[in-house]
Homo-oligomer: A and B are copies of this chain.
Amino acid sequence: MSDSAQTLEAFRHFREKMNAGILEAGNLNINRFFALDTRTYETGALPVKTKELLGLVASMVLRCDDCVTYHLVRCREEGVNDAELYDAFAVALVVGGSIVIPHLRRAVARLEELPAP
């Protein structure tokens, strides 16, 4: 990653710490949203791998680096290979335009921190 960005390890640490703090605050609607967010990517009519690719592309066109990082990690865990990822990146790039490019650069840098499937 570039110098000003978090390592994957720092991202994970911050994410887990803050998620725990948010859930402990006890706002029922927020906690329900977090539970729903998890369930939405579980196996259904579409396989988990496809759902994670959907989450990845949605995150890229909405330009959320942390969301992209999360779904890249999950995509790799589900066995998505480089060629498949770049196909998904291409859809995000064409749908979302050149403003997606900085996020694509950071996504590709993030991939270097993740083991290939």
Contacts and interface: CB of A to CB of B under 8 A. Distances in A.
Copies in the assembly, this chain? 6
A2 B65 CA distance: 15
Could you say which interface size class chain A belongs to?
Answer: 35 or more
B6 A45 contact: no
Interface of A is mostly: helix
A51 B90 CA distance: 10
Contacts of A29: 36, 39-40, 44, 90, 93-94
A99 B96 contact: yes
Interface of A: 2-6, 10-11, 14-15, 18-19, 21-22, 25, 27-30, 32-34, 36-37, 39-41, 44-46, 50-51, 53-55, 57-59, 61-67, 81-84, 86-102, 104-106, 108-109
